Amino acid sequence: MSEQLSALEQKMQQQVLRYEYVLEALSDIGDELCRVSSFDAQLKSLLHLLLGTLGVRKGGIFLFDTFKSKVSLRCAWKLAHKSGDYDTTQEEISALETNTDDITFRVKDFPYLQGILKEFEEDRLDCISVLKVREKLIGFLVVGHKLKDVALADKEMTFLKTLSRNIAVAINNFLLLSELREANVRLDEKIQEVSILYQASQMISSELQLQALLDMAMSAIAEITEIERGSTWLFEEEHKAFSLMSHLGNATDLPDNLNLGDSQVLLHAFEKKDYFPYEKGNDEPFELNRADEKLFGNSFIVVPIVHQGEFLGLVHLCGCPEGNGFTERDIRLIKVFTVQLGAAVKNAQLYEQAITDGMTKLYLHRYFKQRLYDEIKRATRFKRNLALIMVDIDHFKSLNDNYGHQTGDEVLKHVAAILRRAVRTHDLPVRYGGEEFALVLPETDMIGAVAVAERVRRSIETDYLEVSGVVLKVTASFGVSVYPDCADDMDSLIKAADVSLYWSKEHGRNQVTAAPSKVSREAGA
């Protein structure tokens, strides 16, 4: 008798050790769940460990999706179905979450999820355990009979309950950690977006030169997202037209100006004043005409530049053909950036209105003096050249006397437009006063400045202007000086260019005269 008791005790002790091993293994797997990305592989490990411990032939783990209110079979062993999604009712879910009596049942006694369990009737499942943490439903676990169709004993069901609680905690910890990881990824993305926008906004926030601002903006957008080509256009309310201000990519087919009524793209942007995508053949808001297709392409986005309800212009962008187009993130960043751009453009426009001549659109004399002073300081600091070109329209008084002041104004605007086209972004075209103009050219020596002046002179000479049916030919005279070769300070630089200009006027007009260097003047003296 004592030998029988000893054998029984030994068997029970072995069983306890086995259960302890299984619980430790479950704990290890639970920890592993929180470290690895292959969730389904770890679920299979949990299931196989459970089935092996109980000596059960088949089983499966179902997980509950709160957002979809569905139950999905995530892993199965020898069940009739290997996977699948199943609908549940809110009443059943509420009952399972609030039921505190028990979590492990015989399948034949389980009052819930009958529609799902019916799908597995041929498996002749023995037990089901509800997987939940406190009142949060995680899913449920089903197991079949043991070998020879033997049902689980009561003590095995008790152990199944313990295992189920451990499995529920392990799965819940993994899901919480997954949510945390996803939240961290989203937070990192948001931080990155804010950083990108901050850097892009910093680029444009302090720039008051409109052209430089829009060039910067286009470069900033290229940093935000990959684009094949793009352009920015500003709207002129007075003429109902758009002016091309900056571009990326091939600009061969882009005109300098485009009337509002000549483009369906521009008209739609003006009327809508909101972002819109265009994809030919994909529910496009309008049909492109040939000009639009040539200018903007067949697939692009348009983002308006708006400030406090005022339509200032638009940004047109084409994604890279090898990419997947613009993502929601791209669109979000671009739209937020253009809001910042709208304020920056308005500030630059107000600033330019204060420092430019309304008729010629060139900088005013007082701004010229300030900029020239700053440029001379910069040239001194970095030991570089600075060129000044003075320009005077020939016989301008005769033009006014013979054709009237309105014609004279048209001549001024015509010459100013030629000057604007001739200069670089960082050069400064100025209306010096009356019919006299100036060009400030940073980092330019005498040879380069004379070449610019000669090019502008030829452009004025070879062009013509038609006013009220009268064709006018205009010429201009030029004087060029360079700091520090010709002068030591701003006033002497202006005087040197002025003297050279009047030498051109007195010796036949329509020519360029370079100021002598300080060395040659001293040698002549």
**Cα–Cα distance, 485 to 489 (Å, whole number):** 11
Alpha helices for 149-238 (secondary structure H): 154-205, 210-224
**Cα–Cα distance, 253 to 294 (Å, whole number):** 7
CA distances, 207 to each of 54, 289, 348, 357 (Å): 74, 36, 7, 20
- The tokens for 155 are 């003590």
- The tokens for 378 are 């910069």
Question: Exposure string (b/e) for 172-185, b if CB count within 10 Å is 16 or more?
Answer: bebbeeeeeeeeee
For 126, phi then psi, to 5°, come to: -95, -55
**Cα–Cα distance, 249 to 252 (Å, whole number):** 9
Whether 129 contacts 164, CB under 8 Å:
yes
Q: Are strands 84-87 and 70-77 parallel, antiparallel or unpaired?
A: antiparallel
Q: In what order do the strands lie in the sheet with 257-259?
A: 257-259, 241-248, 227-236, 310-319, 299-307, 276-279
Whether 69 contacts 88, CB under 8 Å:
yes
For 364, phi then psi, to 5°, come to: -80, 165
- The tokens for 2 are 């004592």
**73 CB neighbour count, 10 Å cutoff:** 21
Of 322, 435, 454, 506, the catalytic one is: 435
**Cα–Cα distance, 124 to 502 (Å, whole number):** 110
| HSE-up (13 A, CA, CB side) for residue 425 | 10
Catalytic annotation present for 121 = no
**Cα–Cα distance, 236 to 405 (Å, whole number):** 25
Residues 6+ apart with CB under 8 A from 462: none
The residues annotated with a catalytic role in the active site are 435
